[in-house]
Structure 1
């Protein structure tokens, strides 16, 4: 099959942006650093994007500019109302908001490349790259018995499991499971299952929960509507029971898996350490949430301003909704939270195109559980890619409505 140059460039754009961290690592591994590495990274990402825009200028999404102006306006308003946040806001704008590989760039890339078939293929190519690269890391780390993670202050630490590995391996795992289940592709499904095993052996708890969330949402979105009323009622009851079982019996379930792995001759020391580490993580997170609640109460209707959690807690508050209410208060936080809920509902249940639904489900499943227990709204590019996918779905629906008239 002959692929035209524009389609190829759009595909390269998607893959290069999704895999930019891997490309950067590999360049550094062969000795290409500094300006040379920056030039190559910008070349592989932005030259294909520029070609795509110049070749089809009408495809340039003006809403990306509107979004950038709106977000910057929020940041500058926060700085004006809360001068104590000035340094944090300037750093955040530079390192995340207007970064060449940050959230606005993520939105721009996937709004420009608004062809669902190109995005689908790019996801599969990216998944292959992710899977090979991080599986190799897993083999090395599991063989030596520990993971190397960059901790506070840039210090390299030895840990029993890797949170970053978990979220990085989660992405290809969900992609392979999604297309494997949807297209009844046994190879994709098996590779996805291997990814789950790797998450068990070296990933974090939230990454494992993200897979469960994805499988539950996948079943609801693509199969639930086909059931009879009685089947739906029974399925909902079973789903609630299963969710509660996972929530309350997480540690016993993992203990059982660890015992099974030991019987099969597979070293589960990392899984055992993950279990013990989970208790400490829960206590630290509970304390963080308690302090976040106090901040929300004192913030009133309009909050303390963007990055207020960083200033008061020393870090982001590890929950997207707490972050919203700390930043924007009861009023603004509720508005944004409702909007996010509307985006997710419409993308998964209102819009009918199964290809876009699957792509959105992959993106939101890859990031949302993490955002509930860790990370930040202003850092997670996959969330902003999901927003871009939503806008692509909305635009295509509007175009189809005009044609039908």
Structure 2
């Protein structure tokens, strides 16, 4: 990758910057505003305007690359994303504030994420940008948590730390750079601090996926590391209560939030009574609505009215599971079909991918854009999910095009002979 000079960046580099900003925009604007307001005081949102203008500058610079990569069917898909909450607004139970919020997220977060996802082409360069941005994000998180102390327990912290952790663990397993161990350990500590147990699970799954891809072929050295790792995993599973208790006690001395460790110790990570209330209601609703659901956004109205969510503000009023969300919004059968199509689409891409850099991006996006949707967040507001979908679609097009060229060349060679 060439030395970064903003006067000479090409379209691909601008797109890579926007690709990173999809994940880090909230963190950047959050840290920027806190630092400036800590020094200056009331800025009348000029700090927010400054970051937004920078975002728009890079977005406009990357627009030619986006337009070249966008097909008619992409435009139809994005138009459908806008129409779904609008159509649901005609239901009698719809809520205008919820519809407005979803439309805002779709238009300003999800659609740009999809567009930047399909637009990147230089995957090795994108990996370098993601890696450098992970260190920047880690420094910003450390500053927010331990210097100005404004982000001690929050989902933003958990998911930003998850992104950093995934970058470092994938790079550690694939390239064996020891400096990644430092970044990974800091990311794990910040994830624990965030009190988001699901991020720890996603990071663990990301590590396993990366190991499956990159611990091959099994040379003696790799076999030794794999054996040691397996022994350590078995030891942790057998003695996890002792380890968690010791970690909780140690971190507690430094005033680190250890609620997640307490949840693990009590076997209560997934047994949250609010989530159970949501899951039960969503499943019962889906079973009684086979072919027609409540529509995009109206599931939140029903969940608020009929579950324990109405008694608290800690947990979001969405199904907390992407498959349940499909079933509730579109009906049980149609929701199942959409879920199967999504899984099939991802599997079709995974089995065809053989580019090492693209594989790294895929693993990271699955960890931050898909896995969290099984325990938190909503797909219709999750920019990382649409970044994953856009990336996979763009990559599949290139793979298909390369195969067509290869087949055509073989036919030409055969005719020539």
3-state SS of the aligned residue for 2:57? helix
Q: 1:253 aligns with which of 240, 256, 266?
A: 240
Rounded to whole Å, the distance in 1 between the matches of 2:393 and 2:377 is: 24
Residues 400 and 313 from structure 1, CA distance in 2 versus in 1: closer, same or farther, beyond 3 angstroms? same
Residues 290 and 25 from structure 1, CA distance in 2 versus in 1: closer, same or farther, beyond 3 angstroms? same
Residues 38 and 369 from structure 1, CA distance in 2 versus in 1: closer, same or farther, beyond 3 angstroms? same
User: After superposition, where does 1:312-351 map in structure 2 within 5 Å?
Assistant: 312-314=302-304, 315-351=317-353
User: After superposition, where does 1:374-385 map in structure 2 within 5 Å?
Assistant: 374-385=376-387
Residues 285 and 52 from structure 1, CA distance in 2 versus in 1: closer, same or farther, beyond 3 angstroms? closer
Rounded to whole Å, the distance in 1 between the matches of 2:202 and 2:299 is: 25
Aligned to 2:17: 12
Task: Specify every segment of 5 or more residues in structure 2 that has no aligned partner in the other structure, as ranges.
Answer: 219-225, 305-316, 409-417
CA contact (8 A) 2:369 2:387 kept: no
Rounded to whole Å, the distance in 1 between the matches of 2:102 and 2:274 is: 28
Rounded to whole Å, the distance in 2 between the matches of 1:387 and 1:288 is: 26
Q: Does 1:36 align with 2:36?
A: no
Q: 2:182 aligns with which of 173, 186, 190?
A: 190
Rounded to whole Å, the distance in 2 between the matches of 1:326 and 1:356 is: 34
Residues 378 and 33 from structure 1, CA distance in 2 versus in 1: closer, same or farther, beyond 3 angstroms? farther
Normalization by structure 1: what TM-score?
A: 0.80
Residues 139 and 89 from structure 1, CA distance in 2 versus in 1: closer, same or farther, beyond 3 angstroms? closer
Normalization by structure 2: what TM-score?
A: 0.77
Q: 2:125 aligns with which of 107, 118, 127?
A: 118
Report the RMSD for the aligned CA atoms in angstroms: 3.3
CA contact (8 A) 1:13 1:46 kept: no
User: After superposition, where does 1:5-404 map in structure 2 within 5 Å?
Assistant: 5-6=9-10, 7-29=12-34, 30-31=36-37, 33=43, 36-54=46-64, 58-60=68-70, 62-80=72-90, 82-85=91-94, 87=96, 90-98=99-107, 100=108, 102-140=109-147, 161-223=153-215, 253=240, 256-260=243-247, 262=249, 267=254, 270-271=257-258, 274-276=261-263, 279=268, 282-314=272-304, 315-404=317-406
CA contact (8 A) 1:9 1:51 kept: yes
CA contact (8 A) 1:356 1:389 kept: no
Residues 257 and 58 from structure 1, CA distance in 2 versus in 1: closer, same or farther, beyond 3 angstroms? same
Q: CA deviation at 1:260?
A: 4.7
Rounded to whole Å, the distance in 1 between the matches of 2:112 and 2:261 is: 34
Residues 302 and 140 from structure 1, CA distance in 2 versus in 1: closer, same or farther, beyond 3 angstroms? same
Aligned length: 371
Rounded to whole Å, the distance in 2 between the matches of 1:138 and 1:51 is: 33
Q: Which has the higher contact order (CA 8 A, sep 6+)?
A: 2
Residues 170 and 362 from structure 1, CA distance in 2 versus in 1: closer, same or farther, beyond 3 angstroms? same
Aligned to 2:221: none
Q: CA deviation at 1:335?
A: 1.9
CA deviation vs aligned residue, 1:133-152 (integer Å, no higher than 9, x gap): 112233359xx8xx867xxx
Q: CA deviation at 1:268?
A: 7.3
CA contact (8 A) 1:167 1:203 kept: no
Rounded to whole Å, the distance in 1 between the matches of 2:45 and 2:191 is: 35
Task: Specify every segment of 5 or more residues in structure 1 that has no aligned partner in the other structure, as ranges.
Answer: 150-160, 228-234
Query: Bigger shift: 386-395 or 111-120?
Result: 111-120
Rounded to whole Å, the distance in 1 between the matches of 2:65 and 2:206 is: 37
CA contact (8 A) 1:27 1:33 kept: no
CA contact (8 A) 1:262 1:268 kept: no
Q: CA deviation at 1:92?
A: 3.5
CA deviation vs aligned residue, 1:317-336 (integer Å, no higher than 9, x gap): 21111111000112221122
Q: CA deviation at 1:210?
A: 0.9
CA deviation vs aligned residue, 1:77-101 (integer Å, no higher than 9, x gap): 3334x23225256314432111x2x
